[in-house]
């Protein structure tokens, strides 16, 4: 896996997420929690699709870059030197 794909939240980010999660867990209004849950499910689906498309686009760009790098080498290096 690529290093840029590893998610590492800072301590501050972890604490902010935990604070928000505890607020929801302690919310007495079940209808409000249900609306939030519904919204988050939709948002998660959208973000998952967007992330998938972005990663695929990045992969295509990286492959294109590698092809261009290798195609600019002389023909005899492409044939005899496979690195």
Domain housing 71? 31-83
Write down the pLDDT at residue 18. 98
Residue 9 covered by a domain: no
Write down the pLDDT at residue 21. 96
Write down the pLDDT at residue 1. 61
Looking at residues 56-82, what average pLDDT do you find?
A: 79
Residue 64 covered by a domain: yes
Residue 8 covered by a domain: no
Looking at residues 43-71, what average pLDDT do you find?
A: 89
Looking at residues 34-45, what average pLDDT do you find?
A: 97
Q: What is the pTM of this model?
A: 0.67
> Element (H or E) spanning 19, and its range?
helix 11-25
28 — pLDDT class (breaks 50, 70, 90): very high
DSSP per-residue codes, 36-80: HHHHHHHHHHHHHHHHHHHHHHHHHHHHHHHHHHHHTS-HHHHHH
> Domain count of the chain?
1
Note whether 70 and 78 are within 8 A (CB): yes
């Amino acid at each position: 896996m690529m290093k840029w794909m590893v998610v590492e939240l800072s301590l501050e980010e972890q604490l902010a997420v935990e604070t928000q999660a505890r607020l929801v867990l302690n919310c007495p209004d079940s209808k409000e929690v249900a609306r939030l849950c519904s919204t988050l499910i939709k948002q998660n689906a959208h973000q998952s699709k967007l992330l998938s498309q972005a990663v695929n686009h990045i992969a295509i760009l990286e492959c294109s870059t590698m092809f261009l790098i290798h195609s600019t080498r002389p023909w005899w290096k492409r044939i005899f030197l496979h690195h």
